[in-house]
Chain A
Amino acid sequence: MPKTRTAAAPRKGAAPRKTAAGPKAAAAPAPAPQTAPAKPRVATCSLAGCFGCHMSILDIDERILQLIELVEFDKSPIDDLKRFTQRCAIGLVEGGCCNAENVHVLQDFRKNCDILISVGECAICGGIPAMRNTIPLRECLEEAYIAGPTVHNPSNRIPDDPEIPRLLNRVYPCHEIVKMDYYLQGCPPPADAIWAALTALLTNRPIQLPYELLKYD
């Protein structure tokens, strides 16, 4: 089960971002025999999710200073990088796939990350958005834009601008679209679980969550 981490490619001069909380003598002991000059890169994204899992990532509190010692963030809402700048060691994926753009982003992550982690219930089972899976898509759209009791939509049209990503027939868990390497359960996963998983992977140890950290809610 321990995965080998093919660490990030040699750093190009590029890598913008990261101002706040830069290298700071982290008070707590840094948990890593960290080696190379190039830190492994971590990317994150939120597909059909609520950003709750990203909040849980931030919920590692001051350990985020240690995390920044350990990794460099690449494409992520955390640093607002829109594109991959380099190959990443780890991709954290929140949310399942409800539309074509989600699928595209997920495939992009698979291409650019060595290890992909499904973070949270939505990524693992579709979650709340997947509640529509038992209702035909046409019915969902008509309820939302035409027939719903509180709908005000004089055009009586379901939005169809080509800029809007096409919805899929149902919401898919990430591992039904691409191969996912690890799963962090929870809604959201506890910050401690995210921390434990990240630090294990970054130090080439297997992820072993204690009983209290495997929770589905």
Chain B
Amino acid sequence: MSEAIEMTIDGVAVTAAPGQTILQAADAAGIYIPRLCAHPELTPFGACRVCTVKVNGRPQAACTTPATKGMVIENDTAELLEHRRSLIEMLFVEGNHFCMFCERSGNCELQALAYRFGIDAPRHAYQFPERSLDGSHPDVFIDRNRCVLCARCVRASAELDHKHVFDFVGRGSHKRIWVDAKERLSDTPLAVGDRAVGACPVGAILRKRTGYATPIGKRAYDRQPIGSEIEAARAAAPTAKGS
């Protein structure tokens, strides 16, 4: 039961611990699988599908699929990169992502993925949906224009803060993040230090009065693509396992 699980990712032998997902095993092995909704401290959710890999030829979300013995996983292939790129482009056109004035720009995981994939312009038409804001809370605001429905705030609030401030309402293209209160964010027990606030990968839930603190050039993804830190771990410990 507790023995190591042998599998391969793009032909590289990877050993997973029992209970690990494909994504966790890949991270531990220094192989970056792009992801957006996955968060190391939160229950896997499988919302964004950016981490889709092929397991024995079938597409699966790496964040929700447990690693099992003998899996043959494809990750860095032209086909999967194209799928992921397309997903990221769709996320951009489905919302109103005005990077040029967003406080999160430079530290945004969606933007960082687009940089990593070298997206110069989405191939789909922009939808410019009408989305609402909630500035009622004294220290935190919600800007649904930027929301990518990753459910990190939902999970972080329930699992880490034990408050359940956020949840989804609506279906399909009407799905949006909402607060578990009568009406507004200020009606919830959300505190500015809650993990749910920091869990947002984009600029949809942000602390007020903290924007633009880091100068351009020093932000998280100004110089290094997202995932570099995971890949650096592999480069630092070369040929340790497998071969």
In whole Å, how far is A84's beta carbon from the nearest beta carbon of chain B? 25
State whether A185 and B120 are in contact (beta carbons under 8 Å apart), knowing that A126-B126, A170-B128 are contacts in the complex: yes
**Is the CB–CB distance between B105 and A134 below 8 Å?**
no
Chain B residues within 8 Å of A68, by CB: none
Does A125 have its Cβ within 8 Å of any Cβ on chain B?
A: yes
Docked complex Cα distance between A170 and B129 (Å): 12
B111 contacts which of A124, A125, A134, A216 (Cβ < 8 Å)? A216
Which of these binds chain A: B47-55, B93-101, B160-168, B190-198? B93-101
Does A118 have its Cβ within 8 Å of any Cβ on chain B?
A: yes
Chain B residues within 8 Å of A124, by CB: 120-121
In whole Å, how far is A214's beta carbon from the nearest beta carbon of chain B? 6
Chain B residues within 8 Å of A134, by CB: 96, 128-131
B223 contacts which of A131, A182, A212, A217 (Cβ < 8 Å)? A212
**Is the CB–CB distance between A131 and B98 below 8 Å?**
yes
Query: Can you add 14 more A-B contacts, CB < 8 Å, to A185-B121, A217-B101, A217-B102?
Result: A124-B121, A125-B122, A128-B101, A130-B128, A131-B98, A180-B121, A183-B121, A185-B120, A187-B99, A187-B100, A211-B223, A216-B105, A216-B114, A217-B99
Chain B residues within 8 Å of A126, by CB: 126, 128
Does A192 have its Cβ within 8 Å of any Cβ on chain B?
A: no
Tell me which residues from 123 to 142 in chain B have a Cβ below 8 Å from any Cβ of chain A. 125-126, 128-131
Does A127 have its Cβ within 8 Å of any Cβ on chain B?
A: yes
Number of interface residues of B (CB under 8 A): 26
Chain A residues within 8 Å of B82, by CB: none
Chain A residues within 8 Å of B98, by CB: 121, 127-128, 130-131
**Is the CB–CB distance between A125 and B126 below 8 Å?**
yes
A-B pairs under 8 A by CB, number: 67
In whole Å, how far is A48's beta carbon from the nearest beta carbon of chain B? 14
**Is the CB–CB distance between B100 and A121 below 8 Å?**
yes
Nearest B residue to A176, CB-CB: B125
In whole Å, how far is A128's beta carbon from the nearest beta carbon of chain B? 7
- Interface residues of A, Cβ cutoff 8 Å to B: 118, 121, 124-128, 130-131, 133-134, 170, 173, 175-176, 180, 182-185, 187, 211-212, 214-217
In whole Å, how far is A203's beta carbon from the nearest beta carbon of chain B? 20
**Is the CB–CB distance between A214 and B118 below 8 Å?**
yes
A121 contacts which of B99, B122, B224 (Cβ < 8 Å)? B99
Chain A residues within 8 Å of B183, by CB: none
Does B106 have its Cβ within 8 Å of any Cβ on chain A?
A: yes
Docked complex Cα distance between A118 and B122 (Å): 13
Docked complex Cα distance between A121 and B128 (Å): 15
Chain A residues within 8 Å of B125, by CB: 176
Tell me which residues from 77 to 108 in chain B have a Cβ below 8 Å from any Cβ of chain A. 96, 98-102, 105-106
**Is the CB–CB distance between B105 and A217 below 8 Å?**
yes
